[in-house]
Amino acid sequence: MHMVSHGSPGAAASAAPATRVLPPRVVRLVLFALGVGGFAIGTSEFAVMGLMPEISRGLGISEPQVGHVISAYALGVVVGAPLLAILGARLPRRTLLLALMAFYALGNLASALSPGYHAMLLFRFIAGLPHGAYFGVAALVAASISPPGQRGRAVGQVMLGLSIALLVGNPLATWLGQVFEWRHAFGLVALIALLTVAMVARALPPDPDEPHQDPIRELRDFNRKPVWLALGIGAIGFSGMFCVFSYLAPTMTQVTGLPESWIPFGLVAFGVGSIIGTLGGGLLYDRLRFRAVAVVLAWSVVVLLVFPLAAHATWPLLLVVVAVGTMGALATVLQAHLMEVAASAQTLAAASNHSAFNAANALGPWLGGMAISAGFGWTATGYVGAATAVIGLLVYAWARRDARVPARAAAG
């Protein structure tokens, strides 16, 4: 168990996950299996954004109502991540992973069979419940089987499944929905989730030495300022990416003037950026620790301010969408940071990171939708997103200042 001092960036005294020694081949298989689960989740989470016109026509609802479907899923993540992390705290992590991904398969199968708008809202909320807890537990498992100096990269590999979903899964789901019917996308996700269950069950051996978690102690250690500030950075600072991405499809058709057949190319561009961001975020955290947050957020402000200018031409738009995708580095950086500052609340904090990001996933489209409805146009999402990234930087500055106070007191 390696300890982080009270004076480390953004942290109170805390413990990182103990390293579990497994053969390198087993480690690679486990990380791959966990990444496949991330691929299923990423494909499902972002499929609605790519299929906004198809779902709108299929359910007989408006595109802003489809935005509510996105928010319903995000709300499910916000509620489900801490709730399921607490309820499953006493379970072995392997068992909890299998249960969460089986639950995810059922939620997406129900989404595929939704008879109408209100049922779709309910089933997307249900599908979102295991999302954060899965990623939280998967990140802890990845960190626990990796050397301390490589934990950021290991978490990045788990999150890479989410990024590859943006590059491959989401465009595939969009294509399936355009050629056949949008329901096929969620049926595909259910199959991939079941495949993940089989792969994790086969690759990850039970850990007889895994420490038992105490839900009461987790709640106590979770309720600390460094944890809440890190979650605040994610909930606010990350919402700009979702603000732009949620309305990318109508922006491409109504501002750039492209046909709907080009939407998958926009999703591929975002996916390429997301992979760069996810891998870069892990490396950045291993090098800069908590300071990596400031680098990602400052970059986000620049990218989001450029987006409205680039949206009027095809190739500039696609290049900037790649850059918007790189903002996903923040997820990896904060995931790794939370494992350092959460003390005994490892599972709860790691899962709650995804609650924070899905609060951003709800906040971003809501703020963007308000700006669009007020008549500022589709490209206003870039300016709104830049403002949220600036607020995220202010929360980061608060967290850094808060960490320096006890450090100076100890030095004095």
Where residue 335 sits, what CATH number does that domain have? 1.20.1250.20
Q: One digit per residue, pLDDT tens: the chain, 412 residues?
A: 233 333 333 333 344 555 666 677 787 888 889 989 989 998 888 788 778 778 878 787 777 677 788 878 888 888 888 888 888 877 888 888 999 999 999 999 999 888 888 898 899 999 999 998 898 888 888 877 776 666 667 777 777 787 788 778 877 888 887 888 888 889 989 999 999 999 999 888 887 666 666 667 767 767 778 788 888 888 888 888 888 888 888 888 888 888 877 887 888 888 888 888 888 887 888 888 888 888 999 999 999 999 999 888 889 999 999 999 898 888 888 877 777 776 666 777 777 777 788 788 778 888 888 888 888 888 888 899 999 999 999 998 888 887 776 545 444 4
Determine the pLDDT at residue 264: 78
The predicted model scores a pTM of 0.72
Does 11 fall in a domain? no
Which domain does 199 fall in, by range? 18-411
First to last CA, the chain: 28
Rounded to an integer, what distance in angstroms lies between the CA atom of residue 236 and that of residue 357?
8
pLDDT value at position 150?
67
Q: Which helix (H) or strand (E) holds 75?
A: helix 63-87
pLDDT, residue 19, reads: 60
d(CA 273, CA 281): 12
Please give the pLDDT value at position 362.
Answer: 78
In a domain, 64, yes or no: yes
**Structural domain includes residue 4:** no
9 found inside a domain: no
The pLDDT value recorded for residue 3 is 32
Q: pLDDT by residue (tens digit) across 180-233?
A: 888 888 998 999 999 999 999 988 888 766 666 666 776 776 777 878 888 888
**Is residue 87 situated within a structural domain?**
yes
**Domain tally for the chain?**
1
> What was the pLDDT predicted at 6?
31
CA 137 vs. chain centroid, Å, equals 14
* Listed residue (202, 191, 192, 226) closest to 399, CA to CA: 226
Distance CA 362, CA 256 (A): 25
- Which run of H or E residues covers position 370? helix 346-371
Distance separating alpha carbons of residues 325 and 333, to the nearest angstrom: 15
pLDDT of residue 321: 92
**H or E element at residue 118:** helix 117-128
Assigned domain for 282 exists? yes
The span from the CA of 68 to the CA of 74, in Å, is 10
Q: What's the rounded Cα separation, in Å, for the pair 266 and 145?
A: 36
Q: Is residue 24 part of a domain?
A: yes
Alpha-carbon torsion (244, 248, 252, 255), positive or negative: negative
State the Cα–Cα distance between residues 144 and 2, nearest whole angstrom: 11
Considering only CA atoms, give the Rg of the chain: 20
User: 104-107 long-range CB contacts below 8 Å, 24 or more apart?
Assistant: 104/37, 104/40, 104/41, 104/44, 104/130, 104/131, 104/134, 104/193, 105/189, 105/190, 105/191, 105/193, 105/194, 105/197, 106/190
User: Does residue 285 sit within a domain?
Assistant: yes
For residue 181, give both structure tokens.
């019917």
Which residue in 344, 338, 306, 340 sits closest to 323, CA to CA?
306
3-state secondary structure of 332: helix
